Amino acid sequence: MNSPKTVLLALGSNLGDRLGYLQNALDQIHENIGWVREVSGIYETPAWGFEGNSFFNACTKIETRLDAQQILKNLQAIENELGRERNNSGVYQNRVIDLDLLIFEDEIIQVENLQIPHPGIPDRKFVLLPLQDIAAKEIHPVIKKSYRDLLADTSDTSEINKVSEKLNIPGKKYNFPGCNYIAVEGNIGAGKTSFSTMVSEDFNAKLILERFKDNPFLPKFYEDKDRYAFSLEMSFLADRYQQLSDDLAQYDLFKDFIISDYDVFKSLIFARITLHEDEYSLYHKLFHLMYKELVKPELYIYLYQNTDRLLQNIKKRGRNYEQNIQPEYLIEINKSYLNFIKSQSNMKVQIIDISDLDFVANRQDYLKLLAEIDKAVN
């Protein structure tokens, strides 16, 4: 899964409802490409390179997990959706919408269909003026000057005026910081770590990830469950208790809330499945002595995936010790989680069926999932 990249885009329109086309394009960028973080003012500009109607031009700063080619493909799809007509002559013409990828982080890309940074930036005042609104001090990756300095140096003397109309930053303002602590749970392979990571990156949350990779008993357990079940569950319980005790006690002034890809109660859920009765009785007593000392999540999210999707995800991520997990084991884990959830009367719980969603690969699925959670928070 890719981490978010900062990208600068240019938007222009000189036909029909120019403001409407820019806003529609911005809305679709949010739906299909990434978070719109900043939007410049709108500048009315004479047609550049041909005789035509004056343009409304703007720039936007977004964060996206797509690569540069995927962004280009999506921008062209948005242009087509909004009715842009293209010609193959290479001659500039009037257009309802024109979307350009200007900057992709600090990367320099030179391929047949894409040049990054966009080569026209230094010579186009209608790009540099809106860039000054959102990235004045940022440095051009090749020229090594700020966009403010490039504007001062440009040879473009076009008469450009800022208009009173404004573009709205699209997308719902999610209120996840309304909860100080959110726990995301799910079966093995449900996607809880991916989702928690994405939310933490997108909404400035402190991220707590379970340290399962460091547990030496886990591979042994999948080879011989009877022999290593108690050692595994005690090891997990001790580590989860220590991690949550430490991380939840350390408030981060620079983060808005905390999100974790597990809740400590999973220890009891898995122990009930894996341990013999006498072992579980002892484990149960120890667990509740530790559990009462921990901060409880204000929102508990359970990501439900059907068994076939879970097995596909487990195979895809390729952890050797998980490859022999049987469907019956996953079904039993899911039943145990649901029984636990039913017993919780003092915890806000949200169960979301994501069996038909791919929130990592499909941004619209991710937005649907966020909307479902937002209902629970608000």
Q: At what angle do helices 192-202 and 363-377 cross, to 10 degrees?
A: 80
- What is the reported pLDDT for 31? 96
Scan for tokens 């928690």, then name that residue: 196
- Kindly report, residue by residue over 273-321, the tens digit of the pLDDT: 999 999 999 999 999 999 988 999 999 999 999 999 999 999 988 888 8
CA 52 from centre of chain: 40
Task: Calculate the average pLDDT of the chain.
Answer: 92
**Per-position b or e across 217-231, b if 16+ CB within 10 A of its CB:** bbeebbeeeeebbbe
Mean pLDDT of 314-338: 90
Q: Indicate the burial class of 371 (C-beta count within 10 angstroms; 0-12, 13-18, 19 or more).
A: exposed
pLDDT over threshold 80, residue 92? no
pLDDT over threshold 90, residue 376? no
Using a pLDDT cut of 90, give the percent of the chain over it: 76
Q: Could you tell me if 369 and 195 are in contact, meaning their C-beta atoms sit under 8 angstroms apart? A: yes
pLDDT over threshold 80, residue 177? no
Scan for tokens 């608000």, then name that residue: 378
Scan for tokens 């700020």, then name that residue: 146
How far apart CA 114 and CA 117 sit, in angstroms, is 9
Query: How does residue 176 score in pLDDT terms, banded at 50, 70 and 90?
Result: low
- What is the reported pLDDT for 2? 84
- What is the reported pLDDT for 211? 83
- Kindly report, residue by residue over 104-132, the tens digit of the pLDDT: 999 999 999 999 999 999 999 999 999 99
Using a pLDDT cut of 70, give the percent of the chain over it: 97
Domain extent listing, the chain:
5-162, 176-377
Mean pLDDT of 193-209: 95
**CATH topology (fold) of 176-377:** Rossmann fold (3.40.50)
224 included as an active-site residue? no
- What is the reported pLDDT for 16? 94
- Residue 148 or residue 93, greater confidence: 148
Query: How does residue 171 score in pLDDT terms, banded at 50, 70 and 90?
Result: confident
- Cis peptide bond N-terminal to 130, omega within 30: no
- What is the reported pLDDT for 119? 95
Mean pLDDT of 48-56: 85
Catalytic residue among 261, 308, 356, 374: 261
CA–CA distance from 297 to each of 8, 77, 243, 267, 341 (Å)?
37, 41, 15, 15, 13
- Kindly report, residue by residue over 356-373, the tens digit of the pLDDT: 999 999 999 999 999 988
Pairing of strands 114-116, 5-13: unpaired
pTM (2 decimals)? 0.89
The correct CATH number of 5-162 out of 3.40.190.10, 3.30.70.560, 3.40.50.300, 3.30.390.50 is: 3.30.70.560
Does 176-377 match 5-162 at the fold level? no
Mean pLDDT of 141-152: 97
Task: Residue 203: count other Cβ atoms within 10 Å of its Cβ.
Answer: 17
- Kindly report, residue by residue over 26-45, the tens digit of the pLDDT: 999 999 999 999 999 999 99
